[in-house]
Amino acid sequence: ELKVEQNPLFLSMQEGKNYTIYCNYSTTSDRLYWYRQDPGKSLESLFVLLSNGAVKQEGRLMASLDTKARLSTLHITAAVHDLSATYFCAVAHNTNAGKSTFGDGTTLTVKP
């Protein structure tokens, strides 16, 4: 059974600082998603990572995937208040295309 572990679950940062959110998973997968959710809102897709070594960047967020280590990271550079949200990773099941398992989410608070 695929298990996905995100850490930390809660993260309080100062504006301007850098930090990394980690997403570990237990079985082989060829796709990993990162999503953002604002309080009371829906999910917004941030990145889809499809291969080992994949790196994608959008603004102050950069995501990478190491399929051999079964690890993805979401790096935040020079955080700003607008990045405050909950971030989820989701890992696709190789044996059941379309099915994905989510991490518990990381709630990020960026303080001035």
Partner 1 sequence: DSGVTQTPKHLITATGQRVTLRCSPRSGDLSVYWYQQSLDQGLQFLIQYYNGEERAKGNILERFSAQQFPDLHSELNLSSLELGDSALYFCASSSSGRETQYFGPGTRLLVL
Q: With respect to partner 1, which residue has the nearer C-beta, 12 or 94? A: 94
Q: With respect to partner 1, which residue has the nearer C-beta, 19 or 105? A: 105
Shortest gap between Cβ of 53 and partner 1 (angstroms)? 18
Q: With respect to partner 1, which residue has the nearer C-beta, 43 or 54? A: 43
Q: With respect to partner 1, which residue has the nearer C-beta, 17 or 41? A: 41
H, E, C per residue of the chain? CCCEEEECCEEEEECCCCEEEEEEECCCCCCEEEEEECCCCCEEEEEEECCCCCEEEECCEEEEEECCCCEEEEEECCCCHHHCEEEEEEEECCCCCCCEEECCCEEEEEEC
Shortest gap between Cβ of 112 and partner 1 (angstroms)? 29
Shortest gap between Cβ of 47 and partner 1 (angstroms)? 9
Point out which residues bind partner 1 (CB under 8 A): 31, 33, 35, 41-45, 48, 50, 88, 90, 93, 96-102, 104-105
Shortest gap between Cβ of 98 and partner 1 (angstroms)? 3
CA 17 vs CA 2, 20, 24, 79: distances in Å: 33, 10, 23, 6
